[in-house]
Amino acid sequence: MSEYLLYPGCSMESSAKAYYDSLMKVAEPLGLHLKEIEDWNCCGATEYLGISLTPAYALISRNLALAARQANGTRTVVAPCSACYLNLAKADYYMREQPRLGHMVNEALAAGDLAYEPGSLDVRHLLDVIVYDIGLDIVKEKVVRPLTGLRVAPYLGCMVPRPDFEHRWSDHEHPVELDQLLKALGAEVIDFPLKTHCCGGHMTQIGPDTAFELIRRLVSSADTYHADLMATLCPMCQLNVDAYQGEMNRHFGTSYHMPVVFFTQLIGLALGLEAKELGFGSEMVSARKALAKIGLEAPEPVAAAPAKAHKAEGLPMPPPLTRRARKGSREGEVKS
Partner 1 sequence: MLDVNLERVRAGLRTEEDLSLLHEVSASTAGVSRLEMCIQCGTCGGSCPSAADMDHTPRMLFAMLRAGMREFVLRSNTPWICVSCYHCVVRCPQNVHIADVMYSLKGMAIKAKLYQDSTAPDFSRTFVDMVEDYGRSYEFGLATRHYLKHFPLRLPGMTSMAFGMLTKERMTITPKRIKNIRQLKAILKRAKEVETSNEAGGAR
Rule CB under 8 A: which of 277-296 touch partner 1? 281-282, 284
Residues between 226 and 265 that touch partner 1 (CB under 8 A): 243-244, 246-247, 250
Q: How far is the CB of 96 from partner 1 (least distance, A)?
A: 9
Q: How far is the CB of 268 from partner 1 (least distance, A)?
A: 18
Which range in 122-130, 133-141, 162-170, 175-183 contacts partner 1 by CB under 8 A?
Answer: 162-170
Nearer to partner 1, 1 or 51 (CB): 51
Containing 61, the helix (H) or strand (E) segment is helix 53-70
- The distance of Cα 194 from the centroid of its chain, to the nearest Å, equals 17
Residues between 20 and 59 that touch partner 1 (CB under 8 A): 39-42, 44-55, 57-59
Using DSSP, how many helices (H) and how many strands (E) does the chain show?
15, 8
Among 302, 325, 328, 330, binds partner 1 (CB under 8 A): 302
Residues between 126 and 155 that touch partner 1 (CB under 8 A): none
Show Cβ contacts of residue 217 under 8 Å, excluding neighbours closer than 6 positions. Answer: 194, 197
Q: How far is the CB of 51 from partner 1 (least distance, A)?
A: 5
Residue 297 sits in the site that holds partner 1 (CB under 8 A): no
Residue 320 sits in the site that holds partner 1 (CB under 8 A): no
Show Cβ contacts of residue 222 under 8 Å, excluding neighbours closer than 6 positions. Answer: 153, 155, 190, 192, 194, 230, 258
Residue 312 sits in the site that holds partner 1 (CB under 8 A): yes
Is residue 175 within 8 Å of 216, Cβ to Cβ?
no
Strand order in the sheet with 151-155: 188-189, 151-155, 229-232, 260-262
Closest CA to 11 of 51, 54, 44: 44
